[in-house]
Amino acid sequence: MRTALAVAVGLVAAVSMVPAADAKAPEACSTLTQADVDAALGAGFTPLPQARGGSDYSACGYQKGRDTAAVTILGAPGGNGVEANTGREERQRAAGHAITPLPGLCDRAFLANLGPTASILMAAKGAWQVDVQVTISGKSSPEAARKLARSVCGRLR
């Protein structure tokens, strides 16, 4: 009986970790454009090669010297971005990172402070998890990350 229950629980857990079958991550560079980066951070950033990982992952970045802006879009397990984002926040808290909720941004968002010079904005929009990181002069820029996240989430459906 215990073995059957463990197998059943394992199958439910495995199914809940799979994004919706029709989930295909949007091209990250179509959600975070050169114009967005220029408006938020100033001109002079150049695009980096876009990365894709299967059908449910896309990443895009821009760089000017040491300054960077990047977005990653990842399919949420079970197609529920808000639920996935809540779990991510819980894991960040458990890891000891300071969390700042960002009400009104995307469907749900928070900023995780990873250390003295690093933070990441983690958001949910529909079936997607969205990560935005901005580094200026070697330090994280949460306000710029918020501006860029608004643009990205505004383009996701």
pLDDT tens per residue, range 86-128: 999 999 999 999 999 999 999 999 999 998 889 999 999 999 9
pLDDT of residue 23: 58
pLDDT of residue 152: 96
pTM of structure: 0.83
At 56-84, the pLDDT tens digits run 899 999 999 999 999 999 999 999 999 99
Q: Is the pLDDT of residue 14 over 60?
A: no
pLDDT of residue 117: 87
Whether 115 and 108 have beta carbons less than 8 Å apart is answered as no
Which class would CATH give 19-155?
alpha beta
Confidence grade of residue 22 (pLDDT, cut at 50, 70, 90): low
Domain ranges of the chain: 19-155
Confidence grade of residue 31 (pLDDT, cut at 50, 70, 90): very high
pLDDT of residue 9: 27
Mean pLDDT, the chain, as a whole number? 85
